[in-house]
Chains A and B, each alone.
Chain A
């Protein structure tokens, strides 16, 4: 049973560019949450998608946007990249109701130069 799949694994972008990260949730999971993890820090909540809608949003600017598709997969888009956006971006999936915990993907390492 495949867990959470994220692509790409690594990405290098130039300041000002735009990037799209992708996530396929674990089979049976319908909720996707995105997190940004800077080196040596805990994951910071970006937003959560459920039923193709953004259900909750953390303290991130509008440059960060997302989408969830009918098959529950999700995308994270970041516009006008800044050097400070360099981080590991983690996708976590769960069942609505959350009684069984989150399953994380291995992440996408984004470097902005």
Chain B
């Protein structure tokens, strides 16, 4: 079951904040977040394993609400280098594979 991401696209000015959401209709074991720049491979950002878990990586953090099967990625004080397409990947219980959302295209302008 493919997760649903929102919004589809975001345009920001440098220094602004953004939130990207990911939800699933299935019970999730973990949520991954990746960023893909044009013409490049997706790059792993972080994984969230437990209900209510939050993680941070520089000015990028994420939360995972296991009960709601939802995850959010928070980008604060955005930089030009944050531009790219963000994908959430989800693992369901008793499933070995990871399914990806359709992606959120983030553009940061000077």
Q: Size range of the interface on A?
A: 20 to 34
Query: Shortest beta-carbon distance, A55 to chain B, in Å?
Result: 5
Tell me whether B102 is interfacial, beta carbon within 8 Å: yes
Which of B13-21, B36-44, B63-71, B75-83 contacts the other chain?
B36-44
Residue of B nearest to A6 (CB): B41
Query: Shortest beta-carbon distance, A30 to chain B, in Å?
Result: 13
Tell me whether A7 is interfacial, beta carbon within 8 Å: no
B98 touches A100 (CB 8 A): no
User: Given the complex, which residues of B lie within 8 Å of A100, measured CB to CB?
Assistant: 47
Chain B residues within CB distance 8 Å of chain A: 2, 5, 30, 32, 34, 40-44, 46-47, 49, 87, 89, 91, 95-103
- The list of the 4 closest CB pairs from A to B, nearest first, reads A101-B44, A104-B41, A42-B100, A56-B97
